[in-house]
Amino acid sequence: MKSLLLVFLLFSLVVPVGAISADDGVSVPLVADYIGGRHEEGVFLDAFVVVRPGDGHVFVDTSPYAQVDLQGSARLAAMVASDITGIDQAEYDFYYVINVPSPIIGGPSAGAALTVATVAAINNWSLIDGVAMTGTISPDNSIGPVGGIPHKLEAAAENGVTLFLIPEGQRKATVLYETRKSGPGFVFTETKTKVVDLVEMGKDLGVKVEEVSDIYEAIRLMTGKELTVEEVGGKVISGDYIEALKPLATSLRAEARGMYSDTALLVNEDLLGDAGEILQRADEMYGEGNYYTATSLYFNAMVVLRGIQWREEYNRAENKDEVLVELRERVYRQINASEMDIERFKSEGVRDPETIGAAESRVTRARQMVEHADRRDPLEYIKALAFANERARTAQWWLTLTKSELIVPEEELRRRAGWYLSQAQSVTTYAETLLSEATQYHGSLPGAASEYVTNARIQFERGYYSGAIFDSIHAIVEASTLIGLMSAGDVEERVKKSEQEAKNAIMEARHRGIEPTLAISVYEYGKTLAEAEEQITQYKYARSIAKTTVILNSKGVNATNTTNPPITKITHPTIKATRSAKEKKSDTTGKEGRPNTKRVTPAPRVHSILACIIASAALLSRRKEKQ
């Protein structure tokens, strides 16, 4: 994490200020906290924002200096402003020059105001005089809570502000005040609290105080301009999508059922674990037309079944160490085959960054899992190998979905991958900073953001630029969702909003002649989830994938060959059954030949965000413990 922070600081502090003139950008007032002696005070600042064509850099210059969270909020302001105005952030440079009279300043509270100023700079708008605001900015465009608002309001009033915008839900604030009692030879000081109505306080100071919930409201009140988001109609799940995903789901359905039957000949029913329940759930999703979700669940079942088969092989062996070595070699053969298939698909150029990126991400994770698997517990080691084997196979599944007729130049993919990786590192660092301040959390970032950053870096270094792009985006979404959930607001309304935004992005891609298969798959999976946080994450990821796919395809050139090469098939040795199929059939199947699940412990709800990889047997057991 220290290395990420160092990269972030070095990248953010170098600003060619001399090249910026007062006519180039927008000046915006900021209010912040300052600790003067024993008392908290508000301080009034000036910031200057410039947006120019460039390479996606964000430059921050502060005098004398500021905390990381101020730099992070400036980078987030650039990201949100680019998103809502529809520009490609990687094609512009953003300059933030802020006069900071004290190093002790809460940087996140400037995020919303900096975002409004950035939008204004992009559109060549001016800001309305006498309007200031405080509030964090979240990647979902909401404005989050801040502290010290009464002191900031006082500073705003002293500097001629007539309209002061604050985050929704923060009209009432608690302030500290001191009372003193003195007598012969002593002074007794007591600190007390009181609740202040900021609207009423503003009236006394001659300032109108108004709550705002999102950046669109703030833009309207600070610029007098309106940015609207149109809702796009139509069905996200198209015939082309079904035509691509249904055959894969159908094939995996047959394979998973076959694996279940084969495994049932090796072990007793009570050792089949959650596989039967997962298969039943997968069949339900298949029947409802949720083919991506069904595919993910069939994969999940095969991870469990593969692990059971290999565990049985291990238990029967006399030389158990030799079996572990053999199992590892089998997995490496599958990984190597998947990697060779990826190179064959890329031999004439990357025709579909979505599917190639999904494949690169999965095979990279499979290799990392084997290389870092702990052999001290043989059974857990076998589970890890089983997961890695199936994970590597899913890379091949995604390759079969490649169908684009455009090739995105490698140099463009490399440039984009580097830019997205830098963004992911910065947003992740910023999220960690905010979380540590809010919850006293000092570990690594919760969730998968840090893992996605690590995998994106590994892929970038080995030339897997498509995979690096989408894993970096995944990290940004993970970290951004956590930042957004720190803000007040109706969570269900956020789910609806994020779903509509994902739908808009997918339909826009389709309007441009692109069928964003990965984005639609993630959207479909989000529809099947129950938890609001997970739905928001899925929808935001689907939206980001669709938008990125449009950008990448805009750089594409026509392919001369659109025929997919064949996929390498790796087969594993079969294990001799302990009993015949006829002897086992009545124990393991129901009336219609489906797996009998009446004695199977229900599987926990499956959770994944990226494509069809959801969980391993080990992950399933850990999720069950948490529940």
DSSP 237-279: S-HHHHHHHHHHHHHHHHHHHHHHHHHHTTS-GGGSTTHHHHH
- The answer on pLDDT for 477 being more than 80 is yes
Q: Among 184-198, 309-323, 435-449, which range has the highest average pLDDT?
A: 309-323
pLDDT beyond 90 at 110: no
β-partners of residue 557 are: 407
Residue 65 is predicted with a pLDDT of: 55
Label residue 101 by pLDDT band (50, 70, 90). Answer: low
Give domain limits for the chain.
2-223, 239-404+572-626, 409-487
pLDDT at 438: 59
How far apart, in whole angstroms, are the C-alpha atoms of residue 561 and residue 190? 80
Provide the pLDDT confidence category of residue 395 given band limits of 50, 70 and 90: very high
Q: Which of the four pLDDT bands, split at 50, 70 and 90, describes residue 200?
A: very high
What does the pLDDT read at residue 604?
35
Task: Please tell me the predicted confidence (pLDDT) of residue 205.
Answer: 95
pLDDT for 309 equals 95
Collapsed DSSP state (helix, strand, coil) of residue 220 = helix
User: Has residue 104 got a pLDDT over 60?
Assistant: no
Q: Classify strands 208-212 and 163-167 as parallel, antiparallel or unpaired.
A: parallel
What SS3 class is residue 407?
Answer: strand
Question: In one letter, which amino acid is 189?
Answer: T
Q: pTM of this prediction?
A: 0.77
Q: Give the ranges where 528-605 is alpha helix by DSSP (H).
A: 532-553, 581-588
Q: Is 371 exposed, middle or buried (0-12, 13-18, 19+ CB in 10 A)?
A: exposed
Q: Which residues of 536-572 are buried (b: 16+ CB within 10 A; e: fewer)?
A: bbbbbbbbbbbbbbbbbbebbeebeeeebeebeebee
Q: What is the pLDDT of residue 462?
A: 96
CA-CA distance, 462 to 464, in Å (whole number)?
6
Report which residue type is found at 145. P
pLDDT of residue 442: 38
pLDDT of res. 270 = 82
DSSP sequence for 182-197: EETTEEEEEEEEEEEE
Query: pLDDT digit string (tens) for 424-446?
Result: 888 888 777 767 665 544 344 45
| Across 317-322, average pLDDT | 94
With a cut of 80, say whether residue 598 has pLDDT above it: no
From the list 223, 219, 266, the residue with the least C-alpha distance to 583 is 266
Mean pLDDT of the chain: 83
Average pLDDT (572-578) is: 79
The tens digit of pLDDT for each residue in 343-374 reads 999 999 999 999 999 999 999 999 999 999 99
Strand-pair partners of 187: 182
Instruction: Assign 113 a pLDDT band (cuts: 50, 70, 90).
Output: very high
Q: What are phi and psi of 183, to 5 degrees?
A: -155, -175
Q: What phi and psi, each to the nearest 5 degrees, are found at residue 268? A: -70, 160
CB 167 within 8 A of CB 142: no
The first and second tokens of residue 57, run together, are 């850099």
Please spell the DSSP secondary structure of 81-99, one letter per residue.
HHHHHT--GGGEEEEEEEE
pLDDT above 70 covers a percentage of the chain that reads: 81
Which CATH code, of 3.40.50.720, 3.50.50.60, 3.30.1360.120, 3.30.230.10, is assigned to 2-223?
Answer: 3.30.230.10
Residue 487: predicted pLDDT = 63
Q: Which residues contact 539 (CB under 8 A, 6 or more apart)?
A: 495, 498, 499, 501, 502, 523, 526
Q: Using 50, 70 and 90 to split pLDDT, how confident is the model at 273? A: confident
pLDDT in tens, 125-179: 999 999 999 988 877 788 877 888 898 999 999 999 999 999 888 888 877 666 6
Share of the chain above pLDDT 90, in %: 57
The band of 568, judged by pLDDT with boundaries at 50, 70 and 90, is: very high
Average pLDDT over residues 447-457: 88
Query: Is residue 109 a contact partner of residue 165, using CB atoms and an 8 Å limit?
Result: no
Place of tokens 């009372």: 179
